[in-house]
Structure 1
């Protein structure tokens, strides 16, 4: 109570000394900021709608006439026909990316704090209402289902429009024999499939630009956007396969198959298609699960696919150039970020076999409790990157973050072995043994949803399977910190439902010190933990205690690099925006010079050669002009680094005496043991769990976040859909949110 009274007194003193003026200034700033955001958002929506409409209209007769008028009006400028087509097809999506930068800068943490303080009446939301819960698409929300329908309509329309325009040209061929007419019709059909596939490539690369401002703009994290890339990939490759197969049939009927294939423009298309087919086959679910490395390495053929596609498609490459260019910028920034060796503050192997890594980061790097990173360990592989959810809260410390890695594959098992080998054990001390292997880590990210949707629900259900508890530990830490510090935070009732195979995995709960983060948290937060141990029928150890045999193995810092970079992800919006702007300006300059000094004077008209020149300008502009901004960025990072504070933070937080560790972990276990219920030999009954909550809560919003295998997501989504459809007015609305990442 004393702290509350002091806080009230400070508030009264503040408002009595010009507080009203400050509030008015903040209110005015908020009004102008909201107006600017509304204008930017409206402008971006208008550009996007016109861009999609352009793809629908161009294949028609009206669209052809409008396109010819556009080329006539703009091709006389410095950039010629090539620049005109690029501006029409790729300019809009790049412009949206530019406008997204100031929009994200205006959408800062202050506005998020204001949104978290607003309690809204319960209502259905399209993004959190599961519609399809089983099948090839996985769990699909109502918003995604509407998007799928609209996209199918878009594809069917473009196929139809291309067919109509092409077949209207048939009379101009004059009298044809049946064989000749059949070949012409086949080529028309193949051309329509190819043109539609090139339109899909305009969207194809947008979801896999991990740090893209476009994904951050619409609030779709990369781990969710990858599924859209997968869907687009299947559809695109189907269209391109039909495109190539029908052309081969037509050329075979005409009798000059080999001659047509060996023509360079067509040969480039064949090479592009073969590389695409190889990526497609190895990305299918059975292959990806059984042979992930095969999938990973063959997927690097995307560079071959794009390179030869540009030379084959010619004019149609313009439709995909915008998305590819934004992907190149993102890939360049990721490459620059991943060159840095990141300091591992601590590496620990927990008794359950899970490895906990604590990595150094600068204070300026922002992330949320729903973020994840990509990690590469040089001693294990020079090429493999693996994604891991961050298990710490942004409020845990300014200069570090932690991840939990479960040993369940070849890469993770080798990592566990290295950490155990480097552990600071008594045996190593007695024999004066030195660690045999060091760890050299590189990091990409953080990525993830910047909108803290876990804070938007007063009642929160977290459903985890196995190591899926990792992001929920971050969520719980975040809520506890906010509760203690009095920050905006709606959750007051939290239920964690956790299914594990063996009871030894329960030790993961002791990695969070609840009482240390928020003393007397039970007075402010109702926390319940339901644990289901599926492959054990009874507890093998005395409940509620961490036995001596479960002591963890901790090793000293095993690398000496530096903090993570803020180049991509949620790091620094301003600098990444400047890099995109400078790269685009460089691309415009290079295309203009190319057209003025080479294409126009020498009357270059070959479609494959122009495609080669344009795609060469894209990475060149990013490396030269974007690289200049990255260089300035590195200088800025060095000047703003606070290494002394970082060292102080590490010393205070992580240099805990070894003899105190067991007692400290035991106290953590005892604290959480009072809040959990453990059931052995059974799985969660989601019908009963949600039914119990539905009877108690009344008409409110209940957020459900799931992190686990697809079967777990489907079962909980099915029950949520059923309850929402049959909902009565005095029952809650359940909102489904998936936090699983399956690549």
Structure 2
């Protein structure tokens, strides 16, 4: 393949000075700085504690005696020492998010020269862990060092303990002794003791974990998603029997993280109970389905968010994650996702909304073709909209991986058009597809309507690669009409719940804090009125009571907060009375031509070849100079590894006049 510069020059740097947010007050800066320092100190202290715990250096036994004689006892001490730091970091992070505005996350950094960041510098690109950044590599090294260190310490202690016992004589050794020991070991594995470690619950927990692990491999997860989904509900069995296995005070070491997981699951359960009607459903020529969902005005998200979706007409149990393809600035009352037809569930969805031409003739005008009701969890994703942190962006997509980049492009154009803070001024999109019909995904976006004369304000170039076609199809340039469009009336009462992603972090903070307080209260009451008076000493039963206290804290105290949150959300939604102009501006429009005039001028399509990332990055280095370049990849593992390898190579070998590439991976499989 010829050099890209010979075909169409890549972006040249343009001098468009974006509008940045105003500098924050010094007091606010100081508060956020103190919160960061406290979080780091807590984390470092917790890591040091975990490293030194196997030794006698810290004498943790003396620490655990701090609550002796209180209603919390030994379990309370262990929970405070090992799980307390996790909850403290959670509370501090909530405070940090509450005092930080949305604009603070993507304001310009005052640095003279581009520099590397540990979390965006790829170190390992080919291996069992996929692409590993420098920060992740440090974490892996520390974890490996901890495992080896703990293994050495515990092995040394066990050998010292075993040396006190006499080994059997030769007369008593042999196959007979080995057989007896094996039988004795098997019997011990089936024991469920009241005091000490209960082996049988541990075996059950281990089996549940092995089943989940075995069905997590990509071939099984992709081809037999239902098997993967249903077997992973065994996490409940795994956690409960793990608690039975180790007892209450050992279980309390991990209870902090498990408690946060319970908080998330309960909130997601409450959110998913609301029925969400689909505003419109469109089947594009490439077979991809676009769903536009109703949302309340106060539900906020960013362009890199994703949701979990359940379509009740297809299944009452299956939840599938999808990246959003719309910008939060597209409209206040809708959110869209693109769904590629790959498996049985997605095929049923396409068949549900698409009809043959003969069937369409029998449909009356303005009559809904089909009806879809859904449940939604989310939006989830990065609190940090990191695509707005770079003036120069390279977006690399494979197939349906273009979906989040359409959202990013919409977001950037909206911000430019609305004069909001927006750093990106050079954007290069590299998109690899198998068939040219997949290019019809561009029909979901109209650049000129989002930002008139955008080319004067944003330097955009799209390099599309059609890998399985050697030449353009004969019908290129003709109109590609959607197979089917289904529109449904918008009902404010049928929009998704705003319990997650509302941007009202105060409610989330109150939910977490009050649930934690409720858990501690129930734990104290349980010990005061039941465990101590009745002399409960069975380890596994006390672990069960510990889990019950965690659940009661979430259900009762957290449930009251969720109820208040829901009532507040419903009151706000009832006050929303969008005008006719707003409704018209939020009408979802589609272009039947994937090669719009405004888009065609920015797009170069090549057939029968794959992206040569070395040439692409060489051209970028020549055009952009010594700047920070954000690279975001959403595609198969092969594309992700190739881009990460090129970023690493350029960062290591690049000179002072070349860009600094910051690698970011947006999950392709979710």
Q: TM-score, normalised by structure 1?
A: 0.81
Give the Cα–Cα distance (whole angstroms) in 1 for the partners of residues 296 and 481 of structure 2.
33
Contact 1:447-1:570 at 8 Å conserved across structures:
no
Contact 1:464-1:497 at 8 Å conserved across structures:
yes
Cα distance change of structure 1 residues 251 and 673 upon mapping to structure 2, 3 Å threshold: farther
Cα distance change of structure 1 residues 698 and 286 upon mapping to structure 2, 3 Å threshold: same
**For residue 575 of structure 1, what is the aligned residue in structure 2?**
507
The size of the alignment, in residue pairs, is 641
Match of 1:720 among 627, 647, 651: 647
Give the Cα–Cα distance (whole angstroms) in 1 for the partners of residues 502 and 110 of structure 2.
25
Contact 2:413-2:447 at 8 Å conserved across structures:
yes
Give the Cα–Cα distance (whole angstroms) in 2 for the partners of residues 256 and 44 of structure 1.
45
The superposition leaves residues 560-582 of structure 1 with CA deviations (integer Å, 9 ceiling, x where unpaired) of 65222222246432112111111
1:327 maps to 2:261: yes
The superposition leaves residues 709-741 of structure 1 with CA deviations (integer Å, 9 ceiling, x where unpaired) of 111111111122122221111111222111124
Cα distance change of structure 1 residues 508 and 47 upon mapping to structure 2, 3 Å threshold: same
| DSSP-derived class of the 2:441 partner | helix
1:39 maps to 2:34: yes
How far residue 466 of structure 1 moved from its aligned partner, in angstroms, is 0.9
The superposition leaves residues 123-151 of structure 1 with CA deviations (integer Å, 9 ceiling, x where unpaired) of 11111111111121111111111111111
1:62 maps to 2:57: yes
Give the Cα–Cα distance (whole angstroms) in 2 for the partners of residues 649 and 740 of structure 1.
37
Match of 1:479 among 409, 412, 415: 412
Contact 1:372-1:390 at 8 Å conserved across structures:
yes
How far residue 385 of structure 1 moved from its aligned partner, in angstroms, is 1.0
Q: Which moved more, 1:692-701 or 1:558-567?
A: 558-567
Cα distance change of structure 1 residues 431 and 588 upon mapping to structure 2, 3 Å threshold: closer
Give the Cα–Cα distance (whole angstroms) in 1 for the partners of residues 152 and 501 of structure 2.
40
Contact 2:396-2:631 at 8 Å conserved across structures:
yes
**For residue 531 of structure 1, what is the aligned residue in structure 2?**
464
Give the Cα–Cα distance (whole angstroms) in 2 for the partners of residues 515 and 423 of structure 1.
32
Contact 2:368-2:487 at 8 Å conserved across structures:
no
1:342 maps to 2:276: yes
Higher relative contact order, structure no. (Cα contacts within 8 Å, ≥ 6 residues apart): 2
Q: Which moved more, 1:636-645 or 1:367-376?
A: 636-645
Contact 2:280-2:487 at 8 Å conserved across structures:
yes
**For residue 702 of structure 1, what is the aligned residue in structure 2?**
629
Contact 2:108-2:389 at 8 Å conserved across structures:
yes
1:132 maps to 2:144: no
**For residue 6 of structure 2, what is the aligned residue in structure 1?**
none
Give the Cα–Cα distance (whole angstroms) in 2 for the partners of residues 178 and 650 of structure 1.
90
**For residue 301 of structure 2, what is the aligned residue in structure 1?**
367
Q: Which runs of 5+ in 2 are unaligned?
A: 1-18
Match of 2:556 among 616, 619, 624: 624
The superposition leaves residues 328-385 of structure 1 with CA deviations (integer Å, 9 ceiling, x where unpaired) of 0110000000111113211111222111111111222111111111111011111111
**For residue 613 of structure 1, what is the aligned residue in structure 2?**
545
Q: TM-score, normalised by structure 2?
A: 0.90
1:693 maps to 2:582: no
Cα distance change of structure 1 residues 260 and 515 upon mapping to structure 2, 3 Å threshold: closer
Give the Cα–Cα distance (whole angstroms) in 2 for the partners of residues 433 and 156 of structure 1.
67
Q: Could you say which structure has the higher helix fraction?
A: 1
Give the Cα–Cα distance (whole angstroms) in 1 for the partners of residues 307 and 357 of structure 2.
24
Match of 1:102 among 87, 95, 98: 95
**For residue 658 of structure 2, what is the aligned residue in structure 1?**
731
Cα distance change of structure 1 residues 432 and 731 upon mapping to structure 2, 3 Å threshold: closer
1:554 maps to 2:546: no
Give the Cα–Cα distance (whole angstroms) in 1 for the partners of residues 365 and 277 of structure 2.
27
**For residue 88 of structure 1, what is the aligned residue in structure 2?**
81
Aligned residue runs from structure 1 range 337-736, under 5 A: 337-421=271-355, 427-429=361-363, 435=369, 438-543=371-476, 545-547=477-479, 550-557=481-488, 562-569=494-501, 571-642=503-574, 644-646=576-578, 648=580, 651-653=583-585, 665-666=592-593, 669-736=596-663
| DSSP-derived class of the 1:381 partner | coil
Cα distance change of structure 1 residues 275 and 117 upon mapping to structure 2, 3 Å threshold: closer
Give the Cα–Cα distance (whole angstroms) in 1 for the partners of residues 224 and 629 of structure 2.
39
| DSSP-derived class of the 2:227 partner | helix
How far residue 424 of structure 1 moved from its aligned partner, in angstroms, is 12
Q: Which runs of 5+ in 1 are unaligned?
A: 1-10, 12-22, 183-248
Cα distance change of structure 1 residues 250 and 342 upon mapping to structure 2, 3 Å threshold: farther
1:257 maps to 2:176: no
| DSSP-derived class of the 1:541 partner | coil
Contact 2:131-2:640 at 8 Å conserved across structures:
yes
Contact 1:330-1:568 at 8 Å conserved across structures:
no
**For residue 67 of structure 2, what is the aligned residue in structure 1?**
74
Cα distance change of structure 1 residues 179 and 343 upon mapping to structure 2, 3 Å threshold: farther
Contact 1:340-1:442 at 8 Å conserved across structures:
yes
Contact 1:423-1:554 at 8 Å conserved across structures:
no
Match of 1:177 among 168, 171, 174: 168
How far residue 34 of structure 1 moved from its aligned partner, in angstroms, is 1.3
**For residue 115 of structure 2, what is the aligned residue in structure 1?**
123
Q: Which moved more, 1:250-259 or 1:629-638?
A: 250-259
How far residue 73 of structure 1 moved from its aligned partner, in angstroms, is 2.5
The superposition leaves residues 235-276 of structure 1 with CA deviations (integer Å, 9 ceiling, x where unpaired) of xxxxxxxxxxxxxx9984473632551334211111111111
Match of 1:51 among 23, 46, 67: 46
Match of 1:153 among 145, 149, 159: 145
How far residue 646 of structure 1 moved from its aligned partner, in angstroms, is 4.6
Cα distance change of structure 1 residues 395 and 424 upon mapping to structure 2, 3 Å threshold: farther
Give the Cα–Cα distance (whole angstroms) in 2 for the partners of residues 179 and 460 of structure 1.
73
The superposition leaves residues 3-26 of structure 1 with CA deviations (integer Å, 9 ceiling, x where unpaired) of xxxxxxxx9xxxxxxxxxxx9xx8
Contact 2:188-2:199 at 8 Å conserved across structures:
no
Q: Which moved more, 1:282-291 or 1:455-464?
A: 282-291
1:162 maps to 2:154: yes
| DSSP-derived class of the 1:461 partner | strand
Contact 2:94-2:509 at 8 Å conserved across structures:
yes
| DSSP-derived class of the 2:663 partner | strand
Give the Cα–Cα distance (whole angstroms) in 2 for the partners of residues 643 and 416 of structure 1.
36
Contact 1:117-1:488 at 8 Å conserved across structures:
no
Give the Cα–Cα distance (whole angstroms) in 2 for the partners of residues 649 and 55 of structure 1.
59
How far residue 655 of structure 1 moved from its aligned partner, in angstroms, is 5.2
Contact 1:446-1:571 at 8 Å conserved across structures:
no
How far residue 591 of structure 1 moved from its aligned partner, in angstroms, is 0.9
Q: Which moved more, 1:643-652 or 1:683-692?
A: 643-652
Give the Cα–Cα distance (whole angstroms) in 1 for the partners of residues 68 and 135 of structure 2.
40
Aligned residue runs from structure 1 range 194-213, under 5 A: none
Q: Which moved more, 1:600-609 or 1:440-449?
A: 600-609
How far residue 477 of structure 1 moved from its aligned partner, in angstroms, is 0.8
Give the Cα–Cα distance (whole angstroms) in 1 for the partners of residues 382 and 410 of structure 2.
17
Contact 1:423-1:555 at 8 Å conserved across structures:
no
| DSSP-derived class of the 2:254 partner | helix
Cα distance change of structure 1 residues 468 and 432 upon mapping to structure 2, 3 Å threshold: closer
| DSSP-derived class of the 1:319 partner | coil
Give the Cα–Cα distance (whole angstroms) in 2 for the partners of residues 630 and 517 of structure 1.
37
